[in-house]
Amino acid sequence: MNTVAQGLDTLRDWLLEKNPDLDAIDDDLDLFESKLIDSINFVEFILIIEELIDREIPVSSDLVARTSTLRLVSENYLRLHEAV
């Protein structure tokens, strides 16, 4: 991944492809409460993040909370990877 912005664009594009009725997705929109991500495509969402940061994300009890918005994905995964 080159930048955090490019990573967010990749995730946003994937979400918009899965939800063609939307024109945009705010960084603070809860992806689960808004039903943009369900239990089936959550796995694919995590796999995309893993590809972007080039490492595996361990399954933990707070994984949903850490990935519930694009801003949280950025803070918890994309920015950390960029700092390495």
Question: What domains appear along the chain, each with residue ranges and CATH number?
Answer: 4-83 (1.10.1200)
- Rounded (10°) CA dihedral 63, 65, 68, 69: -110
Burial level of 18, CB count in 10 A (0-12/13-18/19+)?
middle
| Rounded Cα gap, residues 79 and 28, in angstroms | 16
Confidence of residue 83 (pLDDT cuts 50, 70, 90): low
The angle at the Cα of 61, spanning 33 to 30, to the nearest 5 degrees, equals 20
pLDDT tens sequence across 18-31: 999 999 999 999 99
The model carries a pTM of 0.90
| Rounded Cα gap, residues 23 and 82, in angstroms | 28
Q: Tokens representing 53?
A: 């940061």
